[in-house]
Amino acid sequence: MKKAVVGIVFLFLGVTLIGCNKKTEAKVVWAKEVQTLLELNNVQLIDVRTPKEFKEGHIENAQNIDFLSSTFTEDIKTLDKEKPIVVYCRSGKRSANSTKKLQEAGFTEIYDLEGGILKWKQEGFKTQ
């Protein structure tokens, strides 16, 4: 009986510790899925390209936070961690790297546009 109780306690502690260490994973989404997400009022759309790239064309209502900037980690702290966030770049590499920084900063609902703005345009979606 005593062994069973000890076993249950260790099982409970193990499950609890595993659950506490669970990392939030960013979900990679296609352009059409992003369009659907953007129809929600509370989504934050972040373009992680350089300001020059952003000025050349971006998705409507996107906020530019340059992943290559030395202030990126500080800049993302101005965002609302309680709201979903969609990130994109040119082709997907910088946005994938930025999702890791967002996870480290405590964001829990992160979406990464597959193929970046290049794929967005290829799928026929507009930019500003």
Q: How many CA atoms lie within 13 A of 105 on its CB side?
A: 21
Q: How many CA atoms lie within 13 A of 64 on its CB side?
A: 16
* Burial class of residue 59 in the structure, from the number of CB atoms within 10 Å of its CB (0-12 exposed, 13-18 middle, 19+ buried): buried
Q: Is 20 a catalytic residue?
A: no
Catalytic pick among 87, 89, 102, 117: 89
Q: What Cα–Cα distance (Å) separates residue 122 from each residue in 30, 31, 33, 88, 117? A: 12, 9, 15, 14, 8
Q: Are 103 and 75 in contact (CB under 8 A)?
A: no
Which residues are designated catalytic? 89
